[in-house]
Amino acid sequence: MKDKAALRREDIELLAPAGDWECMRAAVANGADAVFFGVEKFNARARAHNFQTNELPEIMAFLHKYGVKGFLTFNILVFEDELPEARKLIEACIDAGVDAVIVQDLGLVKMIREISPDFPIHGSTQMTITSPEAVEFTKPFGMERVVLGRENNLKQIRKIGEQAKLPMEVFVHGALCVSYSGQCLTSEVWGGRSANRGECAQACRLPYDLMVDGVQQPMGDIAYLLSPKDLAAIDIVPELIEAGVESFKIEGRLKSPEYVANVVSKYNKEIDKYFEGDETGPSKEEVRELQQSFSRGFTHGFLEGTNNKQLVEGTFPKSRGVYLGKVEKILRDAVVCKLEAPLKRGDGIVFDAGDPTKKEEGGRVYDVRVSGAKLEGEAAEGLRIEIVPGRNDIDLNRVHEGDRIWKTSDPALDRRLRASFETEKPYRTFPLAVSVFGQEGVPLRTIWTDVRKGTTVAVESEMPLERAEKRPLGHEVLSEQLGRLGGTLYRLDQLEVGLKGDVIVPKSELNRMRREAVEQLEAMRELPPKYIKRQIDEFADAFDSDAADVSVQPSEVKLTALCRTLEQVKAVVKTEVEFIYADFEFIKQFPDAIQVCREAGKRIALATPRIHMPGENGYHRNILNLKPDAVLVRNTGALYYYLKERMEKPNETHPLLIGDFSLNVANHKTVNLFREAGLDWVTPSYDLNIQQMVDMLRRADTSRLEMVIHQHMPMFHTEHCVYCTFMSEGTNYTNCGRPCEEKRASLQDRIGMSHPVRVDEGCRNTVYNAIEQSGSEYLDLFMELGVRSYRVEFLEESADKVHEVLTLYRAAIDGRISGSEVWRKLKAINQLGVTRGQLVK
């Protein structure tokens, strides 16, 4: 992190989204320093238009011509059979001179480093990097930058920068995911569309009923309990710069080019103002224009700390635009409203009656009147007007007094924004320094330097200089002729004249020399950077399961159980299960679980939270002080902490480290990376279907893999607390009164399924699927492939249910019943049935 006094404008990067060519041009035209984009596969916006791989050279030439960097999004998990295609895309990126790839999958990071030691990698926000320790874990892989989680606040960002000393990229504007990026499985569970594969179905934008202890709560017009407002940090740009943020990232690869132009231009202006010493901040009109392009209501997200009430309002899930006011009166052909924002003829409006699940009346403004008289031009804020909608646009019989009115579109603004990039003129120009030398009888020699790029070319005249009888070449003539740079990327900034005597050359020759120099310099701008590229076999480090018999016998197979209550632990110790995980809401409950297991002669592992924030190492110290047999590690920050403890205290006994599903292991390279890093056991990702799982198992060392064979799938994992927001008067854990300790909340979806919401020690919420998931039908196949550890996870099950479920799975492992019979019995004993989940997607 650079010292504030040493910071320059070029040290801060404004990073813009581009879902297509129009958006890319809009970003460049309006001041973006870098652009991130995806190609047809392997990116987290599968629904975006996206580019084609064969367009990469053209894309990078266009961006580099304007001095803009281009980052390719490769921010998804990569399955085993996709590794060859992934390798080819990385090779294409290297050849085209892509400035960096934004990566989620650590196995892909491993492969990129096998291909190239110097090709830049940025750690995606999908890596769930939220602490200095998580950044430190990435350093052996030579990442150039990390994209922090949207949940980090300014103090945490500063601390991460000061401790980890790696450039940080932070989202400053756009949609907020309610779940931690890389940790949302909702779309996967409900529709087989993984957010870790760019296919998010936006389940957070759906309505839910709040159930407390099984009773539905009256919520009025609040239904969107997991739908956050949009992030807008436009007014805290100085604070972000001073916290050490080096890249300001704008969300929106699914958004319009007008949105890109609007947001980029305004953040560019605010960053410039900081370095100019201008402390005025954005105007009210500028903020309104941002809202007009896209807004579900603006918030600072988590940047200034957690405020659950501000983050989620819950009344609507989609963009509304600019708030105009309420309907005061309904006339025959118009509605009366006192404006809280300007409005004019042609603008789009919608009437909000408080229930966005029903059809809303909306359309264009046909006329604006004041006391019956037509108003020309724009009606100003504060004016009481009559809004006349288009005759066939809006049914005023469905509009009510008190309805809120929103301006949903502003055609005049859109035209202005489009004009910024729909032009034949260059989007940017760069300074040129020209030196001119010569004397009579020799060619005129010119040296042209692209000041910003640092490149230089020399161009000589094709004829010698002659003695000038009249107007000799001088500063004025040369400046006029060589400075005719309209329509090019350049402007003449410096001219040095070193001519001897009064000499002359035809102006046509000066023009030719100028054109040749500009052509050469522009071509040099488009040249791709050079990276090392090695030919590799992506499967060279794979385990060859076909060359050896890896199948395991029932006696070699371990059945483990994860418990979320002490009652469940007490039930498990009475079974044949020898290894138990304790995953309790509060760490104060761990000692009792350890005592129960020790007295029963059973081994126990304690689970970490899914998230690791700055200042939370005390949790992990407490775990080590309890001396468990193992730790279930759920994030790379915690993993780094435990590995560092091992390294610094080699003579002490340390617990086994078992990596959980949340580490997102989806291919053999990720398995190898975590095993080489120091994990003793690895759990595969929940994103794999059965074929993808089998593909990975055939190439991974399965002797140290544990398969979760039964669980309530954890769907959302979020910093946003349902208990605090809707069951207390508080705004965060400091003042909410902790209703989570007294009551049980769940979210009921549109088909009546009630999904439990549980908290952890960090007051983060996990929403679990109401229906249990079982992979019992695949037990025999997994055993053939060498998997010898199977985990059953419980949520709210009673002691009797725990015993019954574990008995079924042990019988299936031992071959006394089939996996299909386990499935049928589970379906019979569960009120809501059982699902195969993502395994059959």
* Domain membership flag for residue 664: yes
Tell me the mean pLDDT in the region 600-619: 97
Q: 468-482, 637-651, 663-677, 819-833: which has the minimum mean pLDDT?
A: 819-833
Residue 350 and residue 273 share a domain: no
22 lies in which domain range?
A: 4-176+228-306
576 three-class SS:
coil
Instruction: Report whether 114 contacts 536 (CB < 8 A).
Output: yes
Query: What does the pLDDT read at residue 680?
Result: 98
Q: How confident is the model at residue 415 (pLDDT cuts 50, 70, 90)?
A: very high
Residue 665 and residue 588 share a domain: yes
pLDDT at 4 over 80: no
Residue 445 and residue 407 share a domain: no
CATH number, domain of 828, equals 3.20.20.70
pLDDT at 153 over 80: yes
Residue 557 and residue 641 share a domain: yes
What's the angle, vertex CA 393, arms to CA 392 and CA 397, rounded to 5? 85
Last residue of a domain, one of 371, 392, 419: 419
Q: Within 10 Å of residue 661's Cβ, how many Cβ atoms?
A: 26
* Domain membership flag for residue 47: yes
* Domain membership flag for residue 208: no
Residue 378 and residue 301 share a domain: no
pTM greater than 0.75 (yes/no): yes
The phi and psi torsions of 274 (rounded to 5 degrees) equal -60, -45
Residue 268 and residue 168 share a domain: yes
* Domain membership flag for residue 726: no
Q: Give the up-direction half-sphere exposure of residue 764: CA atoms within 13 A in the CB hemisphere.
A: 20
Last residue of a domain, one of 247, 275, 306: 306
Contacting residues for 833 by C-beta, under 8 A, at least 6 apart: 771, 827
* Domain membership flag for residue 550: yes
Compute CA distances 151 → 224, 301, 303, 503, 587, whole Å: 20, 8, 7, 68, 22
Tell me the mean pLDDT in the region 357-385: 94
* Domain membership flag for residue 443: yes
Instruction: Report whether 667 contacts 105 (CB < 8 A).
Output: yes
Compute CA distances 790 → 38, 480, 561, 787, whole Å: 37, 79, 8, 8
Tell me the mean pLDDT in the region 12-31: 97
Residue 332 and residue 260 share a domain: no
Residue 497 and residue 394 share a domain: no
Residue 33 and residue 161 share a domain: yes
- Between strands 215-216 and 298-299, the pairing is unpaired
Residue 384 and residue 454 share a domain: no
Closest CA to 662 of 583, 590, 587: 583
Token code pair at residue 806: 């574990």
Number of domains in the chain: 4
Token code pair at residue 583: 């995953």
* Domain membership flag for residue 434: yes
Q: How confident is the model at residue 3 (pLDDT cuts 50, 70, 90)?
A: low
Closest CA to 658 of 685, 630, 677, 686: 630
Alpha-carbon span 14 to 32, nearest angstrom: 5
Q: How confident is the model at residue 48 (pLDDT cuts 50, 70, 90)?
A: low
Alpha-carbon span 772 to 793, nearest angstrom: 10
* Domain membership flag for residue 512: yes
Average pLDDT, the chain: 94
Closest CA to 547 of 415, 687, 434, 699: 699
Last residue of a domain, one of 392, 419, 446: 419
Residue 587 and residue 485 share a domain: no
Q: How far apart are the first and last CA of the chain?
A: 45
List 13's β-bridge partners, or say none. 247
Amino acid at 187: S
Question: For 664, left (φ over 0), alpha (ψ -120 to 50), or beta?
Answer: left
Model pLDDT for residues 540-577, shown as the tens digit of each residue:
999 987 777 899 999 999 999 999 999 999 999 999 99
CATH number, domain of 413, equals 2.40.30.10
In the block, tokens 């679980």 appear at: 593
Residue 602 and residue 464 share a domain: no
Q: Within 10 Å of residue 220's Cβ, how many Cβ atoms?
A: 8
Q: How confident is the model at residue 47 (pLDDT cuts 50, 70, 90)?
A: low
